[in-house]
Amino acid sequence: MRRWVRMTGGLLIWALHFVGIYLISSAADVWSSSEAGSARWIGLAFSMACLLAVIALAVWLGRGRREGSGEEAWERRVGLTGALVAGIGVLWQTAPLAF
């Protein structure tokens, strides 16, 4: 299980971010307006938490053992690539909230 978390952790955080922002926007649309300031701030705070989680995952993967089998190095590279894609995705999905 730990191997899968290493490889797909960033993508899972990105998926959680997508669902969370969608739910926040939907709830804001029902209660007031999706343009409401409070919904934007909640969305920005949630996005920052997800981005910090992606960064923490990347640091955890980067500090992994350098020596080891080629399999472990490959898993680490896949995980770091997923974390990079997830970080870009979180930033891209957060951009409409910020402007």
Q: How far apart are CA 81 and CA 10, in angstroms?
A: 9
For the segment 3-23, what is each residue's pLDDT rounded down to a tens digit? Answer: 888 899 999 999 999 999 999
- Identify the pLDDT of residue 30: 84
Q: How far apart are CA 46 and CA 58, in angstroms?
A: 19
- Identify the pLDDT of residue 1: 77
- Identify the pLDDT of residue 40: 87
Q: Which helix (H) or strand (E) holds 6?
A: helix 2-31
- Identify the pLDDT of residue 37: 80
For the segment 18-65, what is each residue's pLDDT rounded down to a tens digit? Answer: 999 999 988 888 887 656 788 889 999 999 999 999 999 999 998 876
Is residue 21 within 8 A of residue 41, CB to CB? The reply is no
Q: What's the whole-number mean pLDDT along residues 86-98?
A: 91
Pairs from 88-93 (Cβ < 8 Å, separation ≥ 24): 89/14, 89/17, 89/18, 90/13, 90/14, 90/17, 90/47, 90/50, 90/51, 90/54, 91/51, 93/17, 93/18, 93/21, 93/47
Helix (H, G, I), strand (E, B), or coil: what is residue 75? Answer: helix
In the chain, what are the domain boundaries? 2-98
pTM: 0.86
**82: confidence class by pLDDT, cuts 50, 70, 90:** very high
